[in-house]
């Protein structure tokens, strides 16, 4: 089993203590977002967790406790963009603070286990192509040697985030214009010794020097754990997504980063209401078991094939 922590919320930033408690206890609960009274119990034993993939914009709250993950393989998807507080209001200053956090994490766990995400890329009168190229270059130069890989994607205007985005007055470049822009990003990445990949993009950027990537990357996980993985494409993700199947442990409407492009929060009022229920000792993130809830143990297992593979250093 690959554990996704989490596409739905920034657990490393806001719920690190809860997650470490869950690791200690050996299990957690996840409420089904499609059926609120259905709860799954997830076994967190290292015997069944092949890899943990963390998604975050600020993992600082996890750093002092990383020794608690010594029995697990894991890596971080670390989003670091050039946006200001008009787009990402809950994130500390990138140049003054977040670049150093990225470097600290890389120094602690290795540059091959921290993936830089510059996404989503959106365009308006402030965040122009020129702005992004300048920001991308500055961040790339500061992260040179601290990561091997950068992932990009262009913003998708989901119906439920359009209201949050209206004030930003976004525009969408034509496909060929996006390819030319992407080619310039690829050149910057190469200059800084980074492999650049695109996440679930509808347009093919291969000619721009950008291959299709997978955030939950089967090849990367196999390299980390030293053996093969048997698993399928995640059927719960978009058609363009190439991620390996995983078990998602997050909860919608619990991320306090407040990003304008976020699809996992429906409203700030909903977030405030749900996060008030946060209890670091509860097996359920930001919630409690009610009388009508049904808890069922989810059947999970290791996906390892047991066949060792030899990778070049």
Q: What are the tens digits of pLDDT across the range 218-265?
A: 999 999 999 999 888 777 776 667 788 999 999 999 999 999 998 899
pLDDT band at 176 (very low <50, low <70, confident <90, very high): very high
Q: For the ranges 25-29, 52-56, 286-290, 308-312, which has the lowest average pLDDT? A: 308-312
pLDDT given at position 116: 98
Cβ(41)–Cβ(29) below 8 Å: yes
Sign of CA dihedral 286, 290, 293, 294: positive
What digits encode the pLDDT tens for the residues 61-81? 999 999 999 999 999 999 999
291 in the Ramachandran plot: left (φ > 0), alpha (ψ -120 to 50) or beta?
alpha
Q: What is the DSSP letter of 62?
A: G
2-14: per-residue pLDDT in tens?
999 999 999 999 9
Rg (CA), the chain: 19
Q: Which whole number is the average pLDDT over 209-216?
A: 88
Q: Picking from 66-70, 148-152, 157-161, which range would have the lowest pLDDT averaged per residue?
A: 157-161
- Please tell me the predicted confidence (pLDDT) of residue 167: 75
Task: Kindly state the greatest CA–CA separation across the chain.
Answer: 58
Q: Which two tokens stand for residue 115?
A: 């993936």
Nearby residues of 306 by Cβ (< 8 Å), 6 or more positions away: 227, 228
Evaluate the CA torsion angle 98, 99, 100, 105 in order and state its sign.
positive
What six digits make up the tokens of 9?
Answer: 């919320």
State the pTM of this model: 0.93
Short-list 244, 182, 235, 180, CA closest to 52: 244
Rounded distance between C-alpha atoms, residue 152 and residue 141, angstroms: 16
Taking residues 191-206, report their average pLDDT.
89
Measured CA to CA, the distance from residue 228 to residue 243 in angstroms comes to 16
Confidence class for position 308, pLDDT limits 50, 70, 90: low
Residue-level pLDDT at 312: 43
Strand partners, 150: 116, 196
pLDDT band at 286 (very low <50, low <70, confident <90, very high): very high
The C-alpha atoms of residue 137 and residue 196 are separated, in whole angstroms, by 13
pLDDT value of residue 161 = 58
C-alpha–C-alpha distance, residues 135 and 279, integer Å: 38
Contact 21, 70 (CB under 8 A): no
Average pLDDT over residues 156-161: 59
- Above 90 in pLDDT, residue 307? no
Tokens 């069944």, residue? 48
Look at residue 201 in the predicted model and tell me its pLDDT.
75
Residues 6+ apart with CB under 8 A from 41: 27, 28, 29, 283, 295, 296, 297, 298
Separation CA 302–CA 300 (nearest Å): 7
152 touches 118 (CB < 8 A) = yes
Determine the 3-state secondary structure of 99 from DSSP: helix
The answer on pLDDT for 184 being more than 60 is: yes
């Amino acid at each position: 089993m690959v554990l996704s922590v989490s596409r739905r919320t920034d657990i490393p930033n806001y719920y690190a203590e809860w997650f470490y408690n869950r690791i200690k206890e050996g299990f957690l609960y996840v409420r089904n977002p499609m059926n609120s009274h259905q709860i799954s119990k997830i076994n967190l034993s290292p015997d069944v967790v092949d890899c943990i993939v963390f998604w975050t914009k600020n993992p600082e709250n996890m750093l002092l406790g990383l020794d608690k993950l010594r029995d697990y393989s894991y890596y971080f998807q670390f989003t670091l963009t050039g946006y200001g507080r008009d787009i990402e209001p809950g994130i500390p200053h990138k140049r003054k603070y977040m670049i150093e956090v990225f470097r600290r994490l890389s120094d602690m766990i290795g540059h091959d286990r921290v993936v830089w995400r510059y996404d989503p890329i959106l365009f308006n009168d402030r965040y122009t192509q020129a702005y992004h190229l300048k920001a991308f270059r500055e961040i790339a130069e500061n992260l040179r040697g601290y990561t091997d890989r950068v992932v990009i994607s262009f913003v998708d205007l989901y119906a439920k985030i359009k209201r949050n985005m209206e004030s930003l007055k976004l525009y969408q470049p034509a496909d060929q214009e996006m390819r030319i822009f992407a080619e310039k990003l690829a050149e910057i990445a190469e200059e800084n010794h980074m492999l650049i990949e695109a996440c679930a993009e509808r347009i093919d950027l291969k000619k721009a020097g950008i291959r299709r990537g997978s955030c939950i990357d089967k090849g990367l996980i196999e390299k980390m754990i030293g053996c093969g993985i048997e698993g399928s494409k995640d059927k719960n993700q978009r058609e363009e997504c190439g991620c390996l199947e995983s078990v998602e442990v997050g909860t919608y409407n619990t991320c306090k980063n407040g990003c304008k492009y976020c699809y996992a929060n429906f409203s700030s009022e909903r977030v405030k209401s749900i996060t008030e229920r946060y209890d670091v000792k509860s097996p359920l993130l930001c919630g409690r078991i009610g009388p009508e809830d049904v808890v069922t143990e989810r059947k999970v297992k290791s996906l390892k094939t047991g066949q060792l593979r030899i990778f070049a250093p």
